[in-house]
Amino acid sequence: MIPAAFGYVRARSLDDALARLEASAGSAKAIAGGQSLLPLMKLRLARPETLVDIGRLAELRGIRRLADGRVAVGALTTYDEMMADETLGHYGLLRDALPNIGDVQVRNRGTIGGSIAHADPASDMPAILLALDAEIVARSARGEREIAATSFFAGAFATALEPDELITEIRLPGGRDDVGSAYRAIEQPASGYSIAGVAAVIGAHDGNQWRFCSIGVTGVGEHPYRASAVESAVTSGASIEDAARHACDGVTVASDIHADREYRAHVATVIVRRALEAAIARLG
């Protein structure tokens, strides 16, 4: 549980951090809270030659509303800071998930940017960003780009980020009164990782049909995914129970020491139903 030898440098500014990442040609890693990267380094699953400490870059911290109504969350914003922010109180699925991420220490040190850059296939935050149709803003010395959450998570611990890019902020759609959202999960008791976690966003009921439904799932497949078959079933008029049966359509369900494939698929179906029911209940 001792990491391989590595160098350390504290970035003086965002431009300094980006220049160091570019110069490293992929051998350096950015670090802030360290709640995701350090455990991998101790297991020697990650062996960066240099850590670039971005933890003191104030421009990457904070929550603000943009001119177009979206909400921007700085990459270095901690879970505790997100929990305390009134702007995010409108998002029911965040209110559900944030108090249950890790423990007090993790929520105090862990950052939203670090979580999604780490891309653990059982992490809660990626499912939430998928369900919200969030945009991830990535920056390098070459420039800045927005990456849709649906295009960001490429595999287990793999993302669309280039080696010289940093996440600077996450942009969430503005809250709407006609939309309800919720997050539900069943966790493995010892580790706290989700066997299945589901973020649900639903809204605008018209007669017997929902006009909008978005489902993000984590802990089930190789990477977090949108349950598009569930979404289509819901907006086509299927019952919530019937729609939830499509939770794992098109997905190779994981099997490990915590849950075999059959059990995990069953849990996913149950949790999709619970998340949808909770989201609907919030519509009043």
Q: Which two tokens stand for residue 60?
A: 């990457």
Per-residue pLDDT of the chain (284 residues; tens, 9 = 90+): 788 999 999 999 999 999 999 999 999 999 998 888 888 899 898 899 999 999 999 999 999 999 999 999 999 999 999 999 999 988 999 999 999 998 888 899 999 999 999 999 999 999 999 999 999 999 999 999 999 999 999 998 999 999 999 999 999 998 777 899 999 999 888 777 789 999 999 998 877 789 999 999 999 999 999 999 999 999 999 999 999 999 999 999 999 998 999 999 999 999 999 999 999 999 86
State the span(s) of the chain assigned CATH 3.30.465.10.
58-172
State the span(s) of the chain assigned CATH 3.30.43.10.
7-53
CATH code, 58-172? 3.30.465.10
Architecture of the CATH domain 179-281: 2-Layer Sandwich (3.30)
Give yes or no for a contact between 109 and 31, defined as CB atoms under 8 angstroms apart: no
Strand positions, DSSP E, 110-257: 135-140, 143-148, 153-155, 158-159, 166-172, 179-187, 194-206, 209-218, 225-226
CATH code, 7-53? 3.30.43.10
Q: What is the Cα–Cα distance from 5 to 2, expressed in whole angstroms?
A: 9
State the span(s) of the chain assigned CATH 3.30.390.50.
179-281
- pLDDT for 77-108, tens place per residue? 999 999 999 999 889 999 999 999 988 888 99
Give yes or no for a contact between 168 and 140, defined as CB atoms under 8 angstroms apart: no
